[in-house]
Copies of this chain bind each other. A is one copy, B any other.
Amino acid sequence: MTADRPRAPRRDATENREALLEAARRILNEDPEASLDAIAAGAGLSRRAVYGHFPSRNTLVAELAERGAARVAAAIERATAEDPALDVALLGRVVWDEVEHVRAMTSTIVHGPLRERIGAALGPIHGRLVADARRAGEQGGRTDLSPETVARLIEGAAFTVLDESLRSPLSRRDGRRLVVLAGLGALGLSWREAGELLDRNAALLMEDR
Which residues of chain A have a CB within 8 Å of any CB of chain B? 111, 141-142, 144-145, 149, 152-153, 155-157, 159-161, 163-164, 178, 181-182, 185-186, 188-195
Contacts and interface: CB of A to CB of B under 8 A. Distances in A.
Contacts of A144: 181, 191, 194-195
Number of copies: 2
Contact of A160 (B141, B152, B190, B192): B152
A23 to B, nearest CB: 25
29 contacts: A111-B111, A111-B163, A141-B191, A142-B191, A144-B194, A144-B195, A145-B178, A145-B181, A145-B191, A152-B164, A153-B160, A153-B164, A153-B182, A153-B185, A155-B160, A156-B156, A156-B157, A156-B161, A156-B164, A160-B160, A185-B185, A185-B186, A185-B188, A188-B190, A188-B191, A188-B192, A189-B190, A190-B190, A190-B193
Given A188-B190, A191-B142, A193-B190, A160 B156 contact: yes
Contacts of A195: 144
B157 A186 contact: yes
A159 B195 CA distance: 25
Contacts of A145: 178, 181, 191
Contacts of A111: 111, 163
Contacts of A156: 156-157, 159-161, 163-164, 182
A159 B189 CA distance: 20
